Structure 1
């Protein structure tokens, strides 16, 4: 009998949808759920590394991931009720998806809530992993892997060089993937390479290895990864500098954008390296300092965290996208990112609303300086969950029905350049 066949996936999924993720995790790991008698069929597995702890007392309930698994290979992860042919809300707590789809959805839920949980041998491998479909590369363009090594460690990354590159000083966009994703998956989902080909700029995709985080999340919640010297900010800034040097890119037009954990990492880069990044994009992410450890990360993601101090860091122009139905990272975090990015000087404000061609409605707020330049731009995506707006179904965590976040971010980025000054090292 396999580990999968011994697990009551209906009960695991019911617990997940009810927000009882500690209990669901226990069942997946072969342990009795808290408050339930131990099964007589055999001993439960020992608690794995990274198994959730919420402190003394009863476990705190966390909402389940609000994304529905694709019904066909290569399909998009969509919000409940938004998938083709959907007729209403997600299944009730007592309705369990069956087989691999149910297990995949449940493990994704648990992984998003417990970013550093250990792998479950024989069970979690292969579920919820970022997709690896080949990314198309036009004739004359390149999409190549590189590596960077510095005092803080090393990381691999991929870089897209458009066919129009001929040695000129191009802008650079650094794209930071979310948990379980990879550079290829993120490139496919965001379609940023297609925009780079169209508008002639470079794109770099740093890769977070499982050795740094079991689910390949950027460690935005670690205090050591929120500082300029050492940790992941130093690695990511080092990658940006290395690409600028190799391709003679324009150091005044370097930008960073990311989804979820990657969005949080981008917000950290704005705080730690305003001398490197001229503007950032945060999609479904969190502000720098929103958490300092795992318990405070859970609190921040669910909306219970405190807002980071305004004015604690140099303000870098920022564009923010967030679904108001996101149950993975509470939408209040978008407001925290905006507050952190807003300078002390008075800004003008313009609010507009509309709907994308795919049907997703949105509200857009633009705050501009005295010269009319947008400094902070916020898009609230109505009814959207935890997914890249306007993304392609060829990548994971995408919402094709929304406005094109990639195109809007590039528009915002290219309106900003750092003042000429020597880059700090």
Structure 2
């Protein structure tokens, strides 16, 4: 296992040339004029044509070394948006801010209400909702890894903005201040369990109701230790006033726990994806399949994208069958050319002579 100092040195030595541009085609369009941008992030957007008024908005935060287009292609969020009718906003990190394209979830100035990257994302959300007539009560946020940790920051700093959030292979809010602490927390070390909930309470003046939280983590994640998933659950249990999980079941072979509040609403859920490493779980077959496997986009036989959206109520709980394309009727085969008649030279000459009046009939 690498030492912290060697890992820091390796991260510092990474340059933009280390990560080549993907050149991937994208259906995301830039969101111009999105307000204040103290975090110097880029905003990209996908709004399906003919979107209904008051449609939901999903904010998606990519992981390190990824672009918005990479994560959209892998996770399938805009594909799902086209199918079920909601908008998707992709804040995108810039290399000038972080050479690995990580959101700076460990930077106090970027994870403080009204400051840095958190404020940039808030401004993008407000501009998108107003500009496209979306429903401000149906705004959701999700992200992978560093994007998952920044999702924790958005839920803590601006809980009033979100109906729900989903943290994939991420970390709890306020767990690190700087790179050395970030690396320790990613390893699952040095967490202060006692102050988890208080960090969220101190991040904003909001006192409830709190957004519902979905937590996804691979049991074999060697990049962000799975203890972080348990810490995220603990951070939100006290805020929602819940204790032990109400249900524990297996879904597609993976452990799924659900916590419900006094009104019976599912306020926290956790998926422990058996044997999966660091990444977003995908399903490549079935009616709920979306996205495409690749680096940190892992075929685990379960579609986190679809199930997260279903938990938020923006897609059906059970994926409807995909439309089956009607096969185009094959054109009728052209009739076979008639076989040429066998030539009789003598008869042909005789016919020609009769036609010329040179031979009696």
TM-aligned CA deviation for residue 126 of structure 1? 4.5
Write the mapping of 1:101-112 to structure 2, written as runs, cut at 5 A: 110=10
Where does residue 145 of structure 2 map in the other structure? 260
Change (3 A) 1:216 1:353: same
Give 5+ residue unaligned stretches, structure 2.
202-209, 284-290, 315-361
Deviates more, 1:208-217 or 1:405-414: 405-414
Identify the match of residue 346 of structure 1 among 228, 242, 245: 242
TM-aligned CA deviation for residue 184 of structure 1? 0.5
Identify the match of residue 158 of structure 1 among 44, 49, 52: 44
Question: Does the aligned pair in 2 maintain the 1:323–1:383 contact within 8 Å?
Answer: yes
Question: Does the aligned pair in 1 maintain the 2:168–2:217 contact within 8 Å?
Answer: yes
Distance 2:273 2:58 in 1: 23
Distance 2:296 2:23 in 1: 14
Write the mapping of 1:316-331 to structure 2, written as runs, cut at 5 A: 316-331=211-226
* 1:213 corresponds to 2:105: no
For the aligned residues, what is the CA RMSD? 2.3
Identify the match of residue 133 of structure 1 among 15, 24, 28: 24
Where does residue 403 of structure 1 map in the other structure? 302
Distance 1:196 1:132 in 2: 23
Question: Does the aligned pair in 2 maintain the 1:253–1:414 contact within 8 Å?
Answer: no
* 1:385 corresponds to 2:280: no
Q: Deviations over 1:108-158 (max 9, x none)?
A: xx5xxx3xx2435xxx7244x5744213x5xxxxx3112334162543221
SS in 2 for 1:380: strand
Change (3 A) 1:306 1:397: same
Q: Deviations over 1:253-306 (max 9, x none)?
A: 111100000000000011100111111110000010110111111110001121
Identify the match of residue 289 of structure 1 among 168, 171, 174: 174
* 1:182 corresponds to 2:67: yes
Where does residue 324 of structure 2 map in the other structure? none
SS in 2 for 1:311: helix
SS in 2 for 1:351: strand
Question: Does the aligned pair in 2 maintain the 1:118–1:214 contact within 8 Å?
Answer: no
SS in 2 for 1:245: helix
Where does residue 336 of structure 2 map in the other structure? none
Question: Does the aligned pair in 2 maintain the 1:131–1:395 contact within 8 Å?
Answer: no
Question: Does the aligned pair in 1 maintain the 2:75–2:292 contact within 8 Å?
Answer: no
Where does residue 327 of structure 2 map in the other structure? none
Question: Does the aligned pair in 1 maintain the 2:273–2:300 contact within 8 Å?
Answer: no
Question: Does the aligned pair in 1 maintain the 2:63–2:145 contact within 8 Å?
Answer: yes
Q: Deviations over 1:179-202 (max 9, x none)?
A: 010010010000011111111000
* 1:229 corresponds to 2:114: yes
Q: Which has the larger radius of gyration?
A: 2
SS in 2 for 1:125: helix
TM-aligned CA deviation for residue 173 of structure 1? 0.3
TM-aligned CA deviation for residue 162 of structure 1? 1.3
Where does residue 331 of structure 2 map in the other structure? none
* 1:365 corresponds to 2:260: no
Distance 1:344 1:250 in 2: 24
Count of aligned pairs between the two proteins:
295
Distance 1:199 1:235 in 2: 28
Per the normalisation by structure 2, the TM-score is 0.76
SS in 2 for 1:281: strand
- Where is the helix percentage greater, Structure 1 or Structure 2? 2
Give 5+ residue unaligned stretches, structure 1.
1-17, 26-50, 53-109, 138-142, 356-360, 416-425
